[in-house]
């Protein structure tokens, strides 16, 4: 398979980036997208050139590190799929691909295709956990939880924090990510003692990081590799509004 690649090259956050053109003539359709980039990097290294920097870890669609924008779509053309799980059979011989880092003011470029997503870590540190004392581990059936709520909590917890929702949103909003991380606890008994404080702290930190607001474009849900639903944004908004009202009363 022959491909023409236009890949974003940028030395650091302060440098001005540009697209660099590469011609690939020996791409197997069985390769993953990252394996194709590995092949290109092997060629660049053998030629004494600087390899293309891109992020990855598990290559199993679990960690969310493989965050690339391919032809304008975060993670590429296949729905519910991370870049590392995208195979070259999804493209055609002779295709031209534009490969960029995730674009967001809150995700500054570190180098080439790697961005700094530590803003997500700071949002999680603001409240994405359960810290109250829960005592000894409970028997699995000791705390009754409806199947509907358990399923919703698991759906929210499936978020891998890749940032595709932010990169796809015209406002650069992180509300799908934040709402998933809030809702995974809001659905369960263990998350109730800190529920109001969690919503306030995480949303406030999200705003401090410079993410935009949601205006219901639904682009985030469309590109999410784990198919997180925007219904969690509505849940988060309700929790945040209740917490704000109660705080003002206090």
- The answer on 135 and 236 residing in a single domain is yes
What's residue 132's pLDDT?
Answer: 76
Both 54 and 176 in a single domain? no
What would the pLDDT profile of 139-186 be if each residue is shown by its tens digit?
Answer: 767 788 899 999 999 999 999 999 999 999 999 999 999 999 999 999
Phi-psi region of 72 (alpha: psi -120 to 50; beta: other; left: phi over 0): left
| Residue 226 belongs to domain with CATH number | 1.10.1060.10
16 with 97, same domain: the answer is: yes
CA angle 133–139–144, rounded 5-degree value: 85
Residue 249, pLDDT score: 77
How high is the pLDDT of residue 134? 63
The pTM of this model reads 0.94
Weakest-pLDDT range from 26-40, 48-62, 121-135, 194-208:
121-135
Indicate which CATH number applies to the domain containing 63: 3.10.20.30
Closest to 220 in 3D by CA, of 178, 157, 248: 178
Looking at the structure, do residues 22 and 125 belong to the same domain, yes or no?
no
Asked if residues 99 and 40 have their Cβ atoms less than 8 Å apart, the reply is no
Name the domain boundary from 90, 111, 132. 111
Three-state secondary structure call for residue 203: helix
């Amino acid at each position: 398979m022959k491909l023409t690649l236009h890949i974003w090259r940028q030395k650091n956050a302060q440098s001005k980036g540009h697209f660099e053109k590469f011609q690939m003539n020996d791409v197997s359709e069985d390769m993953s997208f990252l394996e194709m980039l590995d092949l290109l990097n092997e060629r660049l290294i053998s030629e004494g050139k600087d390899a293309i920097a891109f992020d990855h870890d598990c290559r199993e669609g679990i960690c969310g590190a493989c965050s690339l924008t391919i032809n304008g779509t975060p993670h590429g053309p296949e729905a519910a799929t991370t870049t590392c799980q995208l195979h070259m059979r999804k493209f055609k011989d002779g295709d031209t691909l534009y490969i960029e880092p995730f674009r967001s003011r809150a995700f500054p470029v570190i180098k080439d295709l790697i961005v700094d997503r530590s803003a997500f870590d700071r949002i999680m540190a603001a409240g994405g956990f359960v810290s109250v004392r829960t005592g000894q581990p409970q028997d699995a059936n000791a705390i009754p939880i409806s199947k509907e709520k358990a399923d919703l909590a698991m759906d929210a917890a499936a978020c891998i924090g890749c940032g595709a929702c932010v990169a796809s949103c015209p406002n650069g909003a992180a509300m799908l990510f934040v709402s998933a991380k809030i809702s995974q606890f809001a659905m369960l008994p263990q998350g109730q003692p800190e529920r109001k404080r969690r919503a306030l702290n995480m949303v406030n930190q999200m705003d401090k990081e410079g993410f935009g607001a949601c205006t219901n474009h639904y682009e985030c849900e469309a590109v999410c590799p784990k198919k997180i639903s925007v219904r969690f944004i509505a849940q988060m908004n309700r929790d945040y509004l209740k917490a704000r009202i109660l705080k003002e009363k206090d």
